[in-house]
Amino acid sequence: MINPTPLMRLVAGVWGFKTLAVGVELGLFTRLANGRTLTVDEVATEFGLAERPADLLLAASASLGLLEKAGDGYRNSELAEQFLVEGRPYYFGAQIRYSDLRTYLPWHRIGEALRTDRPLTWDPQAQQSMFDTTDPQMLLEFWDAMYSTSSFTARALADAYDFGAHTRLLDVGGGAGAFPIEFCRRLPDLRATILDLPHVCVRAEERIAEAGLSGRIGTVGGDFLADPGLPDGHDVILLSMILHDWDEPTNRALLAKCHAALPAGGAIVICELLLNDERTGPPEAALMGMNMLVETEGGKNYSGAEYAAWLADAGFVDVHTVPFDAPGANGAVVARRA
């Protein structure tokens, strides 16, 4: 018999996120790195908590697969050890922190966004875009969150698509450079350019220098929407988690610029959380689309078929989709200029 338990699981979804977020805020998973195990009493003492909340936090974290029981104590699960310990290569905490600080409270007003078709995290009448803010700390949180999500997504994309077939990559809206850094670490002959707003390029250059790749990855400050064209001299263009920010006419105009900037045989790679062709899922893509209602003026998540049609209309050929599994994308739509 059908029952409302699935609905209760949806109700409890926010509880799970907030348990994860407070664990990151406290530094719980970082403190438990490298196999360290703590009992409820030890956690209470170390974090300045009473015994009851310490017990509830540990039990809830274990139920979510973030911790595991070891005798009378708790230690990190493999998931937490790899992705929730600060300093790990694919640390995901920045995304969790940003979502907690900026996105979740506006989501409480999702009905307002549905009725007005206006974003909730910024004011279009006072700001030029969602990337325009007077709060530099929040802007830093945003780019660190994007880097956090993009690092492992770049790894998954590099496993799924052979960037070794190319020599010069242009990452349009490349943020802090997670994708070029991951690719260039793997491929010694690849060179890359990040095109993004000038203040974002400053952050990218810091990340690139930390990775020891300043000689192979460069930046170009610009606005890929407002500028008349894109930098040339590249044989592959990456649009990763970019097109879901904009409406169809804006995206079609950007794809036309990509086509004009590529040489014959050059490739374009659109990396996104893709909806199925029926627009019924998967949930991660559909819910990211709802998040675009909160965060953007015209953004939404699109299907692979929609991207394929736009690419064909822009003059690209050999359009196909490469599936993979990552936090920021579930596939890439790939095409080439004839």
Instruction: Give the DSSP H or E segment for 204.
Output: helix 198-210
Residue 263 is given by DSSP the state P
139: number of Cβ within 10 Å: 16
User: CB-based contacts of 129: which residues, under 8 Å, 6+ apart?
Assistant: 122
In whole angstroms, what separates CA 290 from the centre of its chain?
A: 15
DSSP characters for 6-40?
Answer: HHHHHHTHHHHHHHHHHHHHHTHHHHTGGG--EEH
Annotation says 244 is catalytic: yes
Contact at 8 Å (CB) between 292 and 300? Answer: yes
Sort strands 267-272 and 331-337 into parallel, antiparallel or unpaired: antiparallel
- What are the backbone angles phi and psi of residue 22, rounded to the nearest 5°? -70, -30
279: left (phi over 0), alpha (psi -120 to 50) or beta: left
Catalytic residue, candidates 108, 199, 234, 244: 244
Contact at 8 Å (CB) between 175 and 271? Answer: no
318: left (phi over 0), alpha (psi -120 to 50) or beta: left
**In a 3-state reduction of DSSP, which class is residue 221?**
strand
> Which residues are tagged catalytic?
244
